[in-house]
Structure 1
C-alpha cells in the first residue's frame, strides 16, 4: 500500500499495470497460503465454446446459514467491457485467485465466472451471461458441492461486481428483462467502483459505444435511468445493496457516486450502506486481498454479508 499511495494519478490507464505490478511480489510470497483454497472449474453454458466457464473456490471451514449450508459469493470482474478474465496470465496469475481465496477463507463458496466481451456482444449480453452463471449455480448445487464442507446454499447467493463488472451487476439488479429471469432471490448485491450515470468522458470511449450503443441508447441504459424506470414496488423488492468504492477513484466515478447515494436514499427512504476503501485507487482493492495490507474493506464486505445471513 505504501507504493500505491505514491501514485499521484487516479486515471485508470495510468495506474492499472503499475498497481498490478506492485502487488505481484507480495502475492507471490503468499502463494502457498492462497493456494490452500481448492479451486474447480465448470462449464455453465455448454451452448457456447468460449468464455462460458466459472471457477469455484471452496472454504476450508464454512460460514453456515440457517439451513446449515454454505453461502455463496459470485464475483464479476471488470476490464472496461473489452478485457478481463477469471484467470489472468503470468505474471498476474494470483488475480483473481487471491480474491477467491480471501472470501473462501472467510467461509463463503466464491465463484468467478467469465462473460463475453465487446466487440463480440452488446448490451445486455454480459449481464445475461452473469445471470446464466447464477442460474446454473442455482440448479447445480449438487454438482459444485464437495464432501468436505456443507452443501452450497442457493438461498444465500450474493453478487459483487467491480468496475465494468459493477455495471453488469447493476443491470442484473435493475433491468427487468434480465433481473426478472434470475432464478434465485439474491441475498444481496455489492456495487463496487462503477459509474451511475454516463457523462461525456464515458460516452466517447470506444468500448462504451460498442457495448451500450449510441448516446441516446447509453442514456436509456445507464444505471441511473434503469433505477428511475423502476416502480416503487420494484425498488422495494430489490435485494439489499452495498456500495463500495476506492478512496482515490477517477473524478467521473467520484462525481457519479454522490448522485447514486442521493438517488438510492430518496427512493428507499434511508442512506445506503457504503464502504470507502481507504488509501486505495480504482485497481488496488481487489489486489490487496490476501496481501496482508489494505484488506479492511474486504472484511467489511464479509461482515455485511454475514449480517444479511443473520437476518434470515
Structure 2
C-alpha cells in the first residue's frame, strides 16, 4: 500500500485521512467477496440510533469462540461501524480478519460529540460489552457460532482507546460496569489513544469532549490511572499497547507518558507493539486487505496465548 507509506503527513487532517482511506478502500474492494463471505449480524444494545453493534462470526468453530470487541476512533466527533461508499468495507474488513482467526468480533457504534460529552461514550462502550455478555444466547441463535463470554478481549483505537480506558478507570464506571466484567476479560489492547492532555500538541478535540481544560486534566486516562486504587490497578487484565510507526505527535507523546505511568503502577513493563509502515489512520482499516496486517497477526498471537 504505497500510497499510505508515501504520504508525508502524520497529523490527522484531510491530507492524511482522505488519501489513506481511499487507498485502503481500493484494495479492500478487490477483496469484497472474501470479506462479505464472513457472516455478519446487527443488534441493538440500547434504544438510541447509535447504540447498535455488528457481530462477525468465525467461519467455522468446534465450540464456543472467544469474543473480541473493537472500538474505533474519530476524534470523539466521528466514526461509523459501517461507512458509506466508497469506504463501506472499512471495519468490515477488520471484522472479517479477526473472525477468520477464530474470534467472534463485535464492532459497536457509540454516541458522539456534540450530542454527548464525557463520559457518556464510555458508558456506551461498557453497555455494548454487557449486552453481548447478557444476550449471548441471542447472538448465538442469530449466527453460526456461540460466543464464549468468559473469554473477552477489548481493543480500542484513538478515541476508542480513551473510552475503553475511561470505562476501566473512571470511579463510577469502574464500579458499576467494568469491575463485574473483569473476570471475563482476558486482555486489553489500547492503540494510539490520547491518554494525557498536553496543551500545544494538537489536543483541541480533547476540549470538545471534556468541556474544559480543567475537566480534561482531571478526567483524562492518565489522571484516572494515577487516582485508581493500587489493588484495583493490579487486578486489571493483561494490557498490550499499540502505536503506529508514523503516528501523530500527540499519540506518540501521550502514549509514552501513559506507558511509563502504567508500567510504574503495575510494577512491570507494559509491552508495546509498533505497527510498521502505518500512520494513525491506516492501522485498523487496512485489516482484511492482505497488506499491512503483520501487527494484527501479532495481536492475534498475544490474545491466543491468553485463552
Specify the TM-score bucket, using the shorter chain as the normaliser.
over 0.9
Call closer, same or farther: CA 1:214–1:220 in 2, change over 3 Å. Answer: same
Aligned to 2:281: 283
Instruction: Tell me how far 1:176 sits from its aligned partner.
Output: 2.4
Aligned to 1:80: 75
The one of 255, 258, 262 aligned to 2:256: 258
The one of 144, 163, 173 aligned to 2:168: 173
Q: Is the 8 A contact 2:169 2:224 kept in 1?
A: yes
Aligned to 1:8: 8
Call closer, same or farther: CA 1:148–1:249 in 2, change over 3 Å. Answer: closer
Q: Which moved more, 1:240-249 or 1:169-178?
A: 169-178
CA distance in 2, matches of 1:56, 1:226: 31
The one-character-per-residue Cα deviations of 1:29-56 (angstroms, maximum 9, x if unpaired) are: 011111110110001113x2x1011000
Instruction: Tell me how far 1:150 sits from its aligned partner.
Output: 4.4
Instruction: Tell me how far 1:148 sits from its aligned partner.
Output: 6.9
Do structure 1's residue 54 and structure 2's residue 53 form an aligned pair?
A: yes
The one of 80, 84, 90 aligned to 1:89: 84
TM-score, normalisation: structure 2: 0.94
Q: Is the 8 A contact 2:58 2:145 kept in 1?
A: no
CA distance in 2, matches of 1:229, 1:194: 19
Q: Secondary structure at the match of 1:187?
A: strand
CA distance in 2, matches of 1:166, 1:201: 21
CA distance in 1, matches of 2:143, 2:232: 39
CA distance in 2, matches of 1:20, 1:201: 27
List gaps (5 residues or longer) in structure 1: none
Do structure 1's residue 36 and structure 2's residue 28 form an aligned pair?
A: no
TM-score, normalisation: structure 1: 0.93
Q: Is the 8 A contact 1:203 1:209 kept in 2?
A: no
Q: Secondary structure at the match of 1:279?
A: strand
Q: Aligned runs of 1:193-272 on 2, under 5 Å?
A: 193-201=192-200, 205=204, 207-272=205-270
Q: Secondary structure at the match of 1:119?
A: coil
List gaps (5 residues or longer) in structure 2: none
CA distance in 2, matches of 1:227, 1:149: 39
Instruction: Tell me how far 1:279 sits from its aligned partner.
Output: 0.8
Q: Aligned-residue CA RMSD in angstroms?
A: 1.5
How many equivalent pairs are there? 302
Instruction: Tell me how far 1:263 sits from its aligned partner.
Output: 1.1
